[in-house]
A and B are shown apart, each in its own frame.
Chain A
Amino acid sequence: MSCFRLENVSYRYDKALVLNGVDLRLEPGEILGLFGHNGAGKTTSIKLILGLMTPTQGRVSVLDGEAGNSHISQHIGYLPENVMFYPQLTGREILNHFARLKGAPLSQVPQLLEQVGLGDAMNARVKTYSKGMRQRLGLAQALLGKPKLLMLDEPTVGLDPVATADLYRLLRRLRNEGTGIVLCSHVLPGVEPYIDRAAILTDGAVKAVGDLASLRRQANMPVTLSIEPANGTSALEKAIAGASAGSGLIIKKDDGRLQVDVRPSEKMALIQSLLNSGEVQDLGIYQPTLEDVYVHFIGAGGLAHRGGGQ
């Protein structure tokens, strides 16, 4: 059973093509990061999986059923961006209301509130909650009824670093218990250690998908070596030039270290010949981060890409 499967899905809003031939799937016990600039189609993809809309073309299957079917949506947890909830009700009343609608046992409510750290505030009205507390209430809401598929849109907004770490620990535990989790976020360094796979969307299409190692391979971005010379910078420069693989860019740093960009395929050869030359005092290897890979795939278009609405 897959948590969801999008097969060649396209979606047209009025005349604009919002999604174009998207193939994406999520298996149980996996955390998928969904990244992209504003208007790339993340929200649309999520809405299709939630059954809020039907695709113009292609097939969406969720938990081996049809998206939006009430037997299916009972097993999906969703944390939308920016929910205000009902300010006049207490956290506990709100969660009771949603538990009834979902058919989840009411005994779960205090446990979940305790779990997200709202145990002391559960009987206070939500209008007194801070943004982070509302976010945690939203998270408790998403966890009602022990979902098999969890979709989280910017879950860490408003959370302090400790609460954020708690959240990721919780997600990891749920994943290990077999929940499939989709994580949308712009805080890439934060999610990097926790996701199993990442999908990068641009302009309604999946630009790249895979685990970080395979994304790095697909991006073919240079690895950066930071080298401290053993016998002076010029000797080291000669050694690098002599290694023939040294087509990469060399930058001198103020602290006397040299920074060399090298293709992933040539990395080991260069390191080996440098070590043999005896010119290396210390060596640091910096792989491209998720953020580097993301920027690579989104392109340097930068702000121009970020113009679209949600």
Chain B
Amino acid sequence: MNSIWTIARKELSDSLRNRWLIAIALVFAVLALGIAWFGAAASGQVGYASTPATIASLASLGIFLIPLIALLLAYDAIVGEEEGGTLLLLMTYPLSRGQLLFGKFLGHGLTLAFATLLGFGVAGIAIALLVEDVAVGALAAAMFRFIVSTILLGWGFIALAYMISVRVSEKPVAAGMALGIWFFFVLIFDLMLLGILVASEGKLSPELLPWLLMLNPTDIYRLLNIVAFGEGAQLSGVLSLGADLPIGANGLWFALVLWFVIPLAAAWALFRSRRI
């Protein structure tokens, strides 16, 4: 446990030193306040629209930004150590590969969690203070849900980045593959799903289709933040499939947790089987 914390602590202090943590928090805060302030611009006025609309917009932007940040933060976790020659050295220390990987995950995961909490937390407080007659209770609940799901989504992509990082031997290759992952989950997946939907002309089992959304953590994340507002929520595009899902919010949370646990376990297995 001590070794895991030693590794985590170095990652945390690195992200404080190179100002990653504060930069991410700042981006999140500006994003959240911008959306809160200009959220109603489409209807011709400036000002706070509503909590559900704000969270829905934040989640829609979040699926672009959060995977990207997580992948950038984590893609060189192992391959970076290898290029610097420190991976070989670390492996001669009383430190197992699992301890190294989980230490990295703890460090990167905490970095992302602190940045998210700080950025969106500050934005939430600012909204609560500055916007008149906003229901603070509902806002706090929605913000809390949004922040926790954002952290889980980020962890998922950190773990996906590790699956690359433990396997390739050059940093640029890892960066390219990380971008590929981002491209697939954020841009391609929904298009593919829509394509399948249209091409199948309704021949595919309608019970099966909504489950396909579970194959993409960003879809789970959006569902989680929009569906939570109940009947009035507008689901557009492929997300409308999600309305038919029989698993409810708890199921979605569980799926999002699985989306970081399974890739992390896979990264561990890949790392263990790799030759140094």
Q: Which residues of A contact B (CB under 8 A)?
A: 47, 50-53, 70-71, 73-74, 76, 78, 80, 82-86, 88, 97-98, 100-103, 141
Q: Which residues in A have their C-beta under 8 angstroms from that of B86? A: 83-86
The verdict on A80 contacting B91 (CB below 8 Å), with A88-B17, A101-B6 known, is no
B89 contacts A73, C-beta separation under 8 Å = no
B17 contacts A73, C-beta separation under 8 Å = no
Q: Is B254 an interface residue (CB 8 A)?
A: no
Q: Is B85 an interface residue (CB 8 A)?
A: yes
Q: Is B258 an interface residue (CB 8 A)?
A: no
B275 contacts A76, C-beta separation under 8 Å = no
A78 contacts B6, C-beta separation under 8 Å = no
A80 contacts B89, C-beta separation under 8 Å = yes
**Which residue of chain B is the closest to A141 with respect to CB atoms?**
B89
B84 contacts A97, C-beta separation under 8 Å = no
Q: Which residues in B have their C-beta under 8 angstroms from that of A98? A: 93
CB distance from B18 to the nearest CB of A (A): 7
What are 18 residue pairs bridging A and B, where the CB atoms are less than 8 Å apart in the complex? A52-B91, A52-B276, A70-B94, A70-B95, A71-B94, A73-B92, A74-B94, A80-B89, A82-B85, A84-B83, A84-B84, A85-B84, A85-B86, A86-B14, A88-B17, A101-B3, A101-B90, A101-B93
Q: Is B88 an interface residue (CB 8 A)?
A: yes
Q: Which residues in A have their C-beta under 8 angstroms from that of B14? A: 86, 88
Q: Which residues in A have their C-beta under 8 angstroms from that of B83? A: 84
A86 contacts B92, C-beta separation under 8 Å = no
A88 contacts B18, C-beta separation under 8 Å = yes
Besides A70-B96, A84-B84, A97-B6, 7 more A-B contacts (Cβ < 8 Å) are A47-B276, A52-B276, A53-B275, A74-B94, A78-B89, A78-B92, A101-B95
Q: Is B145 an interface residue (CB 8 A)?
A: no
Q: Is B10 an interface residue (CB 8 A)?
A: yes
In the assembled complex, the Cα of A191 lies from the Cα of B160 at a distance in Å of: 48
**Which residue of chain A is the closest to B94 with respect to CB atoms?**
A70
Contact partner, B84, options A73, A78, A83, A100, Cβ 8 Å = A83
CB distance from A84 to the nearest CB of B (A): 4
A102 contacts B84, C-beta separation under 8 Å = no
- What are the nearest 7 A-B pairs in CB distance? A70-B94, A83-B85, A84-B84, A100-B6, A50-B92, A78-B92, A101-B93
In the assembled complex, the Cα of A103 lies from the Cα of B95 at a distance in Å of: 11
Within 8 A of A (CB), among B84-131: 84-86, 88-96
B88 contacts A102, C-beta separation under 8 Å = no
**Chain B 71-87 near chain A by CB (<8 Å), digits 1 or 0:** 00000000000011110
In the assembled complex, the Cα of A97 lies from the Cα of B86 at a distance in Å of: 12
In the assembled complex, the Cα of A97 lies from the Cα of B95 at a distance in Å of: 13
Q: Which residues in B have their C-beta under 8 angstroms from that of A83? A: 84-86, 89
In the assembled complex, the Cα of A141 lies from the Cα of B93 at a distance in Å of: 11
Q: Which residues in B have their C-beta under 8 angstroms from that of A53? A: 275-276
Contact partner, A52, options B6, B17, B84, B92, Cβ 8 Å = B92
Within 8 A of A (CB), among B1-57: 2-3, 6-7, 10, 14, 17-18
A102 contacts B94, C-beta separation under 8 Å = yes
In the assembled complex, the Cα of A226 lies from the Cα of B164 at a distance in Å of: 64
In the assembled complex, the Cα of A63 lies from the Cα of B267 at a distance in Å of: 32
In the assembled complex, the Cα of A294 lies from the Cα of B88 at a distance in Å of: 29
CB distance from A219 to the nearest CB of B (A): 34
**Which residue of chain A is the closest to B95 with respect to CB atoms?**
A101
B93 contacts A73, C-beta separation under 8 Å = yes
Q: Which residues in B have their C-beta under 8 angstroms from that of A85? A: 84-86
**Which residue of chain B is the closest to A81 with respect to CB atoms?**
B85
**Which residue of chain B is the closest to A100 with respect to CB atoms?**
B6
CB distance from B12 to the nearest CB of A (A): 12
CB distance from B216 to the nearest CB of A (A): 35
CB distance from A110 to the nearest CB of B (A): 19
In the assembled complex, the Cα of A76 lies from the Cα of B83 at a distance in Å of: 23
Of the candidates B2, B14, B17, B94, the one having the most CB atoms from chain A within 10 angstroms of its own CB is B94
B84 contacts A101, C-beta separation under 8 Å = no
Q: Which residues in A have their C-beta under 8 angstroms from that of B17? A: 88
Q: Which residues in B have their C-beta under 8 angstroms from that of A51? A: 92
